[in-house]
Amino acid sequence: MSEPALIDAPAPGADHIAAIVSAWEGYLRAGDGGPSTGSLSYVYASQRRACTRRMALDLLYPGDRPEFTPDQLERMRRGVEREAAIVARLLQVGPRCTPPFSMIEGQKRFEIRDRDNRVLIVGKIDGRLYFGRGAPRPVFEVKSGESVRHVETIEDLERSPWTRHMLDQLLSYLLAESEPWGFLILDRPAVPKFLRVNLEDHLERAERFLADARIAVLARTGEGAMPPFTDDRAECRRCDHLGKSCAPPLDYGPGATIITDERLINLARICEENEPASKVYDRAWKELSKSLRGVELAIMGDYEVRGSWGKNTTYELPDDIKAKFKKVDEKGKFFLELDRIGAAPAGEGR
C-alpha cells in the first residue's frame, strides 16, 4: 500500500507533538469556543447557585464568565460523549430488563413558570424510561467527571460545591414533569452508579430553587431588588462576577498567611488524593458495624468476624443541673477545610 500524499509536508525539525496539540485545541474551539454571552431572562436548571445574587448576575452579566480553556472544552466534550454511550447502553439493556423498558423523550426541553406565566427555569431532560402503560416513567440525568466518580449516596453530593446542585437540577425536572421520582446516573470506569431521587423527600428544596430562580429573574427584569450578598467567602472566590459586576464587602480579617512548608503542602496533597478512598472506607465500615452488631464470632466469606461487648457509662442529669456546669469556649473547636486553588473548573464533566 502506498503512503498517502501530504498536501503540506512539515518543515524539517518541526515539533509534531506540538502541532497535534495545537490542532486538537483548534478543533475544540471551532466547536464551542466559550460560554454564551447573550443575556437570558430565565435560569438554566443546571445553573443552580448557592448564592442567589450570583444567579441574578449570571442573567445580567453573562460576559463576566471567561472563555473556556481547551482542557475545559475537552472535559465537556467527553461528558457529552459519555452521556451518549450510557444512553446507548440503556437502549441495549431495556429489552433484557424485567420488566422491560424503552427510552423516550431524550433531550426534551422543559419550562417551569410562576403563577404570572413568567418563565423561571429552563432545561432539558437527558431521557425518560418507559416501562409500559400505567407504570412509572422516571426521568434521568447523566453526570460524569472526577467529581462524581466516588459518589455513592445522595448525601455525598452535598460534600462538594461541584456536585451539590446536581440534585437541584434533577428535582427541577421532576417538578416540571410532575413525576414522583427519577434518578441520577453517575458515570465511572465500571457499571454506572444509579441514585434514586424521590421528589417528596426533597420537595422543600425543589421549591426553594424555584423561589430563588424567581428572585433572580425579577432582578434581571428590573421588577425586583438585587439579591443580597452571600456570607460564604468560598462561594465568592469561585464566582466569575467577583471584581467585575459584583464587589461584596468581604472581610477577610488580617489576611491570608502564606505557608511554604513543603511537608505541610505534601500532607495536604496526600489528603486530597486519598479523600475518596477514605470516604468509601468510612461508609463500608459504618454499614458493616451496623449490620454485624452483636455478632461475637462468625465466618463471612474469606473473613473471620470477631466482636465483643464493652461497658458504656452515661450520666443522665436534669437540665437545670447541667446548666450550672455548662461552659462554652468560643474557640474550643477548630474546623479545617482544604480547597485546591482553581480546582474543578467550569466544564468538569457534565
Q: What is the DSSP letter of 244?
A: T
Residue 306 and residue 296 in contact, taking contact as beta carbons nearer than 8 Å: yes
Q: Please report whether residue 28 resides in a domain.
A: no
Cβ neighbourhood burial of 132 (10 Å; 0-12, 13-18, 19+): exposed
Cell of 252: 477577610
Q: Please report whether residue 14 resides in a domain.
A: no
Q: Please report whether residue 346 resides in a domain.
A: no
Alpha helices in 142-202 (DSSP H): 154-157, 166-177
The domain total for the chain is 2
Residues 208 and 276 in one domain: no
Instruction: State the Cα–Cα distance between residues 46 and 64, nearest whole angstrom.
Output: 18
Find the CATH number of the domain harbouring 183: 3.90.320.10
Residues 158 and 207 in one domain: yes
User: Sheet harboring 139-143: ordered strands across?
Assistant: 102-104, 127-130, 139-143, 181-186, 193-198
Residues 261 and 206 in one domain: no
Instruction: State the Cα–Cα distance between residues 30 and 184, nearest whole angstrom.
Output: 31
Q: Please report whether residue 6 resides in a domain.
A: no
Cβ neighbourhood burial of 172 (10 Å; 0-12, 13-18, 19+): buried
Instruction: State the Cα–Cα distance between residues 62 and 96, nearest whole angstrom.
Output: 45
3-state helix, strand, coil in the chain (%, to 5): 40, 15, 45
Residues 230 and 266 in one domain: no
Residues 145 and 278 in one domain: no
For the chain, the straight-line distance linking the first and the last C-alpha, in angstroms and rounded, comes to 43
Dihedral angle of Cα 150, 237, 50, 157, to the nearest 10 degrees: 10
121 forms beta bridges with 43, 112
Q: Please report whether residue 330 resides in a domain.
A: no
104 forms beta bridges with 128
Residues 266 and 227 in one domain: no
Digit-by-digit pLDDT tens for the chain (350 residues) are 566 655 566 566 668 888 898 898 888 888 755 556 567 889 999 999 999 999 999 999 998 988 888 888 898 898 889 999 999 999 999 999 999 999 988 888 999 999 999 999 999 989 999 998 888 889 999 999 888 888 889 988 988 888 989 999 999 999 988 899 999 999 988 899 999 999 999 999 999 999 999 999 999 999 999 999 998 888 888 899 988 999 888 665 556 677 888 888 888 888 878 877 787 888 888 888 888 888 888 898 888 888 888 887 777 778 777 777 777 777 777 767 666 665 544 444 44
Domain carrying residue 68: 43-237
Global pTM reads 0.70
Instruction: State the Cα–Cα distance between residues 277 and 271, nearest whole angstrom.
Output: 10
